[in-house]
Amino acid sequence: MGEVIVITSGKGGVGKTTTTANLGTGLAKLNKKVVLIDTDIGLRNLDVVMGLENRIVYNLVDVIEGNCKLKQALIRDKKYENLFLLPAAQTKDKTSVTPEQMKKLADELKAEYDYVILDCPAGIEQGFKNAIAGADRALVVTTPEVSAVRDADRIIGLLEANEIKKPQLIVNRLRADMVKRGDMMSADDVVDILAVELIGQVPDDESIVVATNNGEPLVGDNSLAGQAYMNICRRVVGEQVPFLDLDSKKGLFSWFKKK
């Protein structure tokens, strides 16, 4: 029996979809059987970030409405054959799916896959309710900005009210230099405010933008962000992994500068 994980944030643009893509790919690298579900009906993105946009024939709404079989709508990843994507519909809206239907779908998938990862839309409306309906576990993504942290706080409250206990936190887009100068909250500062367990901290990294545009998640490569995402995957499957020193790259740089 697998586990259903929802990736959520409240605020938009903090990296839910990027995190979902990298987490899914990373777990597949760890030889887990993974299915990603894009629940952002009407504004789908996950297929683009995964580079699978051209393979879409059926989507989530088709499955829910019974226009196709679940197996027909699942798109196999280009590289990892134990990774699948269930894309969102683009022409419908969030109301074409109910939380009950999502829960049923998640339960069905979790019988067959190790991890079912749901990419949640921004906001706290129907789309959010759909996404969290079947979830066993939640990862809350935030950036070290007051607005994102405020929204994350609200989301954590809503998750707990919906019986998803102990959400875990990913602090995205950290900039070690700014944290050092005291111009940005550190991951620890964010954890202090939100009072939840930290499961990952991801640096602001140009290679994320490149990877996203190429449609290939960078998890596990040499970039700092790639390593950070791989560490999150390890922690998700239960390993104890120490947090990266996000300043290491900077350290090397300044070492060169000094010479």
Partner 1 sequence: MKQLVTIKGTKSGIILVLDPNAPFVMLLDEMALRFKEASSFLGKNKMGLMVRGRALTEDEESKIVDVISKNSDLTIVCILQEDSPLEERFIKSLNNDDEPVSAPAPVESPQVESDAYIEEDSNDAVIYSGNLRSGQDISCKKSVVVLGDVKPGANVTSYGNIFILGELRGNAFAGANGDRDAIVMALDLNPLQVRIADAIAISPDADNGPKLRIKRKKARSSAENEPEVAYIENGHIVKTLYGSPFLRQFYKI
Residue ranges binding partner 1 (CB under 8 A): 42, 44, 51, 53-57, 78, 90-92, 213-215
Cα 245 from Cα 80, distance rounded (Å):
29
Nearer to partner 1 among residue 87 and residue 200 (C-beta): 87
CB of 39 to partner 1, least distance (A): 16
Edge-first strand listing for the sheet containing 115-119: 75-76, 83-86, 34-38, 115-119, 3-8, 137-142, 168-174, 197-203
Nearer to partner 1 among residue 30 and residue 56 (C-beta): 56
The token duo for 232 is 């999150």
User: By 3-state DSSP, what share of the chain in percent is helix, strand and coil, each rounded to 5?
Assistant: 45, 15, 40
CB of 97 to partner 1, least distance (A): 15
Cα 142 from Cα 190, distance rounded (Å):
9
Nearer to partner 1 among residue 56 and residue 191 (C-beta): 56
Nearer to partner 1 among residue 54 and residue 240 (C-beta): 54
CB of 90 to partner 1, least distance (A): 5
CB of 57 to partner 1, least distance (A): 7
The token duo for 107 is 């339960």
